[in-house]
Amino acid sequence: MDIKSFIPPQRILMGPGPSDVSQRVLDALARPTIGHLDPAFVDMMDEMKQLLQYAFKTNNELTFPVSAPGSAGMETCFVNLLEAGDKVIVCQNGVFGGRMKENVERCGATPIMVEDEWGKAIDPDKVEQALKANPDARVLAFVHAETSTGVQSDAKTLTELAHKYDCLVIVDAVTSLGGTPLEVDAWDIDAIYSGTQKCLSAPPGLSPVSFNERAAEVIRNRNSKVQSWFLDLNLVMGYWGAGAKRAYHHTAPINNLYGLHESLLILQQEGLGNAWARHDLHHQALKAGLEAMGLSLLVNEVDRLPQLNAVVIPQGVDEVIVRMRLLQDFNLEIGAGLGSLAGKVWRIGLMGHACSVRNVEYCLQSLDQVLGDMGVIEKGVAVPAAQTILTSAA
């Protein structure tokens, strides 16, 4: 075999994730590997917890990154909080609500589904009806930022409803953390999980989670063992707990944690409020450019995620050809639709390091060229429209 070192192509990642990783984070990943119980590494872990608490806007002691991607963060929440026979209200308005349902079932619990149209926010009235009809429900689970559709639901209102009916909440914040307002303590969220590869702009492979004391008490007082040994928080927190004395649980992904530490430091240095404002501004600029071309967004403005834009594909356009040309000719990656939206939308991400003036303009220029060659848009109007928004905000 004549196999050589793998050298990846240089892409601009503007799909639903992963997002572009900054040189600062890439440099951090390349630092010398040390032991996962080394005192220097333990000090870094303590800083990591503080940085994650800042990003989640929480003082929860039980805040740390699970050593696996966002899907493992999701599973961590469900396997620790649910036991066989529990009843869970699960909201679904896209792909990832469906994954929550799968987790509930695999825990031996019963999901009660509250479904909304893909592209629409979760309806609090439907949720309240389900809570009233199921007074024995223990948990309400919902996706804050649905990556498959670009919709953001009202996490504060949904959490208040859950607590009104004596339920815990599990929140999917994979796409919202670092990109759009999210306040774990102020909204009284019980359990929440995210991922590193979206608005935090670190490589995939870690999943930040946070549990408040109400959720931690449930975990400590379970009637049965957590079905996953690896994700059992009663064991994991012996390693991620406070202080320098750590109990060995698993070999942490050391260099990946360096990268997350650096990405969280970048977020802290920018300031959460500034990061949220940046994502919104560049979304407005991208939207202006897309609309100038004659394209439209799937989600109504009130419920729209600034960091994940679901763009309706013009009639008669082969969306696969467009994405392949963008990748091959412009080294630009955007995402396809999932589930019922497959073939109907493109998903354009503006996440973390990828959320920049340069990327907004480059994406619009590239789409202008590809769609203009197909004769389906007016060429040359998108970038000026975006620049008008950016200039007015300067």
d(CA 154, CA 156): 6
pLDDT band (50, 70, 90) for residue 245: low
Please tell me the predicted confidence (pLDDT) of residue 378: 86
Q: What is the pLDDT of residues 71-127, one digit of tens each?
A: 999 999 999 999 999 999 999 999 999 999 999 999 999 999 999 999 999 999 999
Q: What is the DSSP letter of 88?
A: E
Output the CA–CA distances (angstroms, integers) from residue 372 to 278, 335, 368, in the order listed: 29, 20, 5
Cβ within 8 Å of residue 299, ≥6 positions away:
119, 120, 149, 150, 151, 305, 310
- Angle at 324 (CA atoms; ends 322, 329), nearest 5 degrees: 95
Query: Crossing angle of helices 233-240/213-220, nearest 10°?
Result: 120
Q: Calculate mean pLDDT across residues 298-323.
A: 97
CATH number, domain 272-393: 3.90.1150.10
**Percent of the chain predicted with pLDDT > 90:** 93
Quickly name the fold that domain 23-269 has: Aspartate Aminotransferase; domain 2 (3.40.640)
| Residue boundaries of the structural domains of the chain | 23-269, 272-393
pLDDT band (50, 70, 90) for residue 239: confident
Q: Calculate mean pLDDT across residues 295-313.
A: 97
Note the residue count of the chain: 394
Query: Which residue, 61, 55, 92, is CA-closest to 194?
Result: 55
d(CA 259, CA 265): 10
pLDDT band (50, 70, 90) for residue 244: very low
Please tell me the predicted confidence (pLDDT) of residue 242: 59
| Contact predicate 53/197, CB 8 Å | no
pLDDT, greater one: 291 or 247: 291
Q: What is the pLDDT of residues 220-230, one digit of tens each?
A: 999 999 999 99
Q: Please, what's the b/e burial string for 172-207 (b: 16 or more CB within 10 A of its CB; e: otherwise)?
A: bbbbbbbbbebebeebebbbbbbbbbbbbbbbbbbb
pTM of the model: 0.96
What is the chain's alpha carbon radius of gyration, rounded to the nearest angstrom?
A: 21
Mean pLDDT for all residues in the chain: 96
| Contact predicate 45/256, CB 8 Å | no
